[in-house]
């Protein structure tokens, strides 16, 4: 990743600045991840139900270099997510949804490179896009102590540690009539001795109806399976997640405001990964990236 | 302009938001239980309680109040039971017993009390066993018990009776608060380390460490408590606390340090704690290893760990007693840690 970043910087800084082939800050990908139903999507998010939660996050490219047939981007993705351990039960000042119990949180950062195959995508269909991406990602999970001095959570050292992983994905998008589709397949490889998991895979589908220019009804589906491994002499079970978002995307030149209802089945996140549950919820996300 | 409405599924979903349905709670594991057998009763024995033990390389000496046996194979113990020491008539014999003067004194008492000798644990060195035992005045009530002091009984190689050491004609070598030696020990380098636990408050039982040079194991004055700050000291109340547990504690050598095993009397779970260096730090927080069925009385019994039965460093063998229907009796549970357990101390 560092080598690729160096090459990109070299190529970018050496190229003429005004010919449009080099862009510094920009979207991290040709096909945005911001619409994904995955809760690992790095984006500004407020979860109102089932549990109150908030995520500060995003992903952007440091540098994009456009070649005749493809575009290379390297960038950074990261988030910090707070989530109450209990269901939403009240509204705090702010206003923000809130609940009882401890606040769990997790943080993630990733360095990534994305290769958009522009020409190959257009060969598939005039509005098609095709993109490969590779990222080195870290995630750790924590919980807050009490402001009142009383004890925190129970011992959570038995919970899986997501740790460090290399993730690769391939994504495509296309227009079909007044519909826009984006699909993504993910492969996950967790570094030995750095995670409670060995490997995993996932699939992502986003479909939106473009019939109205200012409001796109959409549905996003996400599923993943992680295979548990051994870390420091402790063996961890597999984990899976299935999630669907159904809502309205309010588009702009920068991205979308997504207002959605969600349905989840599978393992929780953070220090509660060993808990399997099904939930229905409601949330709002500010997603970077636009539909072509 | 044509009116549009939200899709029906969206409306239904919004109406049903805020719902959490718990499906399952999974566990991460340190390894797998490979055995949990009811130990068969030997001939002529109606009941076997939870044993105290001395751990030798490759074998374990199990001790009951009126019987003793070497155990060297967990599988053989589960299939055949312990091969008890027996006298010429075939009756089980204990490792040690009251001498004639003590027996006569018990007979002469008229206060309902009697002297009993209770084995509490020890260690082995060069095939010689060093067993600490308590002198207790029991009675008149069932729960009445007064600790008079602690003695040491030495079992020479090949023998089935140990010799109770005496000092100034008394086998009480340490007074009740003089040294705490009731939780077994290990030999490390040039010293035997003996652990002792005592109740200091409701639901608080602390364990300290006492050491003796290997060339003076039979000298009561050579046993000194250990303090992290000042080293070997004379005041037993100055000793550092190495672990706090309500159940029995067994300390053994582990691959990268020391392992303390306990059976929690209230939840029946076997826990282990780790220490890289007993001379500089306490045992770690405890890790839940496996559960045993609580007796119907409600409190778990036993919990000694028998390192002498390990075939490899990743094994843990624990004895316990339960009266659960269908599984009543003395149990031996074996557990195998995953390969890297103990490689990192948490």
Q: What is the CA radius of gyration of chain A?
A: 20
pLDDT value at position A95? 85
* A242-291 residue pLDDT tens: 999 999 999 999 999 999 999 999 999 999 999 999 999 999 999 999 88
Outline where A44-178 has alpha helix (H). Answer: 118-124
Task: Report the distance separating Cα B254 and Cα B251, nearest Å.
Answer: 9
pLDDT score of B264 more than 70: yes
Percentage of chain A surpassing pLDDT 90? 76
CA distance B210 to chain A (A): 31
Cis omega (within 30 of 0) on the bond before A50?
A: yes
The values of phi and psi at residue A12, to 5°, are -70, -45
Query: Measured between alpha carbons, how far is B151 from B169 in angstroms, rounded to an integer?
Result: 12
- The answer, yes or no, to whether residue B14 has pLDDT greater than 90, is no
Answer whether A277 sits within 8 Å of B337, measured CB to CB.
no
| pLDDT of res. A154 | 75
pLDDT digits (tens, 9 = 90+) for A93-138: 888 898 887 889 999 999 999 999 999 999 998 889 999 999 999 9
The answer to whether B339 contacts chain A (CB < 8 Å) is: yes
Q: Do A234 and B20 touch (CB under 8 A)?
A: no
Task: Band the pLDDT of B340: cuts 50, 70, 90.
Answer: low
Average pLDDT estimate for A36-63? 96
Alpha-carbon gap: A239 to the closest alpha carbon of chain B (Å): 10
Identify whether the C-beta of residue B227 lies closer than 8 Å to the C-beta of residue B244: no
Which of B4, B8, B12, B13 to probe by mutation at the A interface, max A CB count within 10 Å? B13
pLDDT above 90 for A145: no
- Res A177: pLDDT: 93
pLDDT tens readout for residues A168-187: 999 999 999 999 999 999 99
Q: Check whether A64 has a pLDDT greater than 90.
A: yes
The average pLDDT across A46-59 equals: 95
Residues of chain B in contact with residue A246, where contact means CB-CB under 8 angstroms, are: 7, 9-10, 13
The closest CB to that of A233, out of B7, B288, B338, belongs to B338
* Entry pTM: 0.82
- 3-class secondary-structure state, position A86: coil
**Is the pLDDT score of B13 beyond 80?**
no
CB atoms B23 and A278 under 8 Å: yes
**A159 contact residues in B (CB cutoff 8 A):** 28
Asked if the Cβ–Cβ distance from A246 to B13 is below 8 Å, we say: yes
Arithmetic mean of pLDDT, A183-209: 97
CB-CB under 8 Å, B30 with A234: yes
| Nearest residue of chain A to residue B11 (CA atoms) | A261
Contact assignment for A237 to B21 by CB distance below 8 Å: no
Hey, are the CB atoms on A282 and B18 less than 8 Å from each other? Answer: yes
For residue A265, give how far its alpha carbon lies from the nearest alpha carbon of chain B (Å): 9
Give this complex's ipTM: 0.83
pLDDT of residue A39: 96
CA B245 – CA B204 distance, rounded (Å): 7
* Model pLDDT, residue B345: 38
CB-CB: which of B10, B338, B343 is closest to A261?
B10
For residue B148, give both structure tokens. Answer: 């008079």
Token pair of A278 as six digits = 């099904």
Q: Where does the pLDDT of residue B281 fall: very low under 50, low under 70, confident under 90, or very high at 90 and above?
A: confident
- The share of chain B scoring above pLDDT 90, in percent, equals 82
Contact between chains at A49 and B17 (C-beta distance less than 8 A): yes
pLDDT at residue number A11: 54
Cβ contact (<8 Å) for B21 and A263?
Answer: no
- What is the per-residue pLDDT across B118-177, written as a single tens digit (0 to 9) for each? 999 999 999 999 999 999 999 999 889 999 999 999 999 999 999 999 999 999 999 999
Confidence at A142, pLDDT banded by 50, 70, 90: confident
User: Under DSSP, is residue A192 helix (H, G, I), strand (E, B) or coil?
Assistant: coil
Q: State yes or no: pLDDT of B243 exceeds 90.
A: yes
- Give pLDDT, residue A40: 96
Contact A274 B288 (CB under 8 A): no
Q: What chain B residue is nearest to A209 in terms of C-alpha separation? A: B7
State how beta strands A216-228 and A230-231 pair. Answer: unpaired
């Amino acid at each position: 990743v560092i080598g690729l970043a160096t090459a990109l910087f070299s190529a970018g800084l050496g190229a003429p600045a005004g010919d449009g082939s080099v862009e510094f800050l920009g979207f991290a990908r040709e096909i945005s991840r911001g619409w994904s139903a995955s809760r690992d999507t790095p984006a500004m998010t407020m979860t109102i139900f089932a549990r109150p939660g908030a995520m500060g996050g995003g992903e952007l490219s440091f540098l994009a270099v456009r070649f005749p047939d493809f575009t290379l981007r390297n960038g950074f993705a990261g988030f910090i997510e707070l989530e109450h351990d209990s269901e939403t039960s009240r509204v705090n000042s702010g206003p923000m949804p809130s609940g009882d119990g401890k606040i769990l949180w997790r943080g993630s950062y990733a360095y990534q490179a994305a290769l958009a195959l522009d020409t190959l995508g257009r060969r598939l269909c005039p509005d098609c896009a095709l993109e490969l991406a590779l990222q080195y990602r870290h995630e750790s999970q924590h919980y807050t102590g009490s402001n009142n001095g009383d004890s925190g959570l129970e011992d959570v050292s038995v919970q899986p540690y997501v740790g460090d992983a290399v993730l690769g994905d391939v994504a495509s998008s296309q227009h079909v009539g007044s519909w826009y589709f984006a699909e993504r397949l993910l492969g996950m490889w967790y570094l030995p001795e750095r995670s409670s998991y060995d490997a995993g895979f996932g699939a992502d589908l986003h479909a939106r109806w473009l019939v109205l220019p200012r409001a796109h009804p959409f549905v996003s589906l996400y599923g993943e399976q992680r295979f548990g491994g051994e870390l420091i002499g402790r063996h961890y079970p597999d984990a899976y997640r299935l999630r669907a978002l159904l809502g309205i995307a309010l588009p702009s030149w920068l991205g979308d405001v997504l207002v959605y209802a969600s349905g989840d089945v599978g393992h929780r996140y953070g220090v509660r990964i060993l808990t399997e549950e099904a939930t229905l919820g409601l949330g709002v996300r500010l997603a970077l990236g636009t539909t072509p | 302009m044509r009116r549009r409405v939200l899709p029906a599924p969206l409306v239904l979903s919004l109406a049903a938001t805020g719902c959490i349905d718990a499906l399952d709670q999974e566990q991460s594991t340190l390894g797998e239980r490979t055995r949990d057998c009811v130990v068969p009763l030997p001939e002529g024995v109606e009941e076997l309680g939870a044993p105290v033990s001395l751990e030798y390389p490759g074998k374990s000496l199990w001790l009951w109040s009126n019987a003793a046996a070497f155990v060297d194979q967990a599988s053989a113990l589960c299939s055949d039971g312990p091969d008890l020491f027996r006298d010429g008539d075939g009756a089980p014999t204990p490792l040690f017993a009251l001498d004639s003067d003590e027996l006569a004194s018990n007979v002469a008492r008229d206060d309902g009390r009697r002297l009993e000798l209770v084995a509490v644990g020890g260690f082995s060195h060069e095939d010689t066993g060093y067993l600490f035992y308590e002198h207790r005045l029991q009675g008149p009530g069932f729960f009445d018990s007064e600790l008079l002091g602690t003695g040491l009984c030495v079992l020479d190689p090949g023998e089935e009776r140990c010799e109770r050491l005496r000092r100034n004609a008394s086998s009480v070598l340490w007074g009740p608060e003089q040294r705490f030696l009731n939780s077994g020990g290990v030999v490390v380098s040039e010293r035997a380390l003996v652990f002792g636990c005592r109740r200091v408050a409701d639901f608080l039982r602390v364990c300290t460490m006492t050491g003796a040079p290997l060339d003076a194991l039979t000298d009561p004055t050579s046993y000194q408590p250990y303090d992290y700050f000042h080293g070997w000291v004379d005041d037993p109340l100055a000793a550092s606390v190495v672990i706090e547990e309500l159940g029995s504690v067994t300390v053994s050598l582990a691959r990268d340090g020391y392992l303390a095993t306990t059976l929690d009397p209230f939840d029946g779970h076997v826990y282990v704690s780790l220490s890289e260096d007993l001379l500089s730090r306490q045992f770690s927080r405890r890790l839940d290893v496996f559960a045993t069925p609580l007796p119907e009385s409600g409190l778990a019994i036993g919990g000694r760990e028998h390192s002498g039965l390990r075939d490899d460093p990743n094994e843990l063998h624990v004895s316990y007693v339960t009266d659960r229907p269908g599984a009543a009796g003395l149990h031996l549970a074996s557990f195998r840690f995953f390969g890297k357990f103990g490689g990192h101390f948490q």
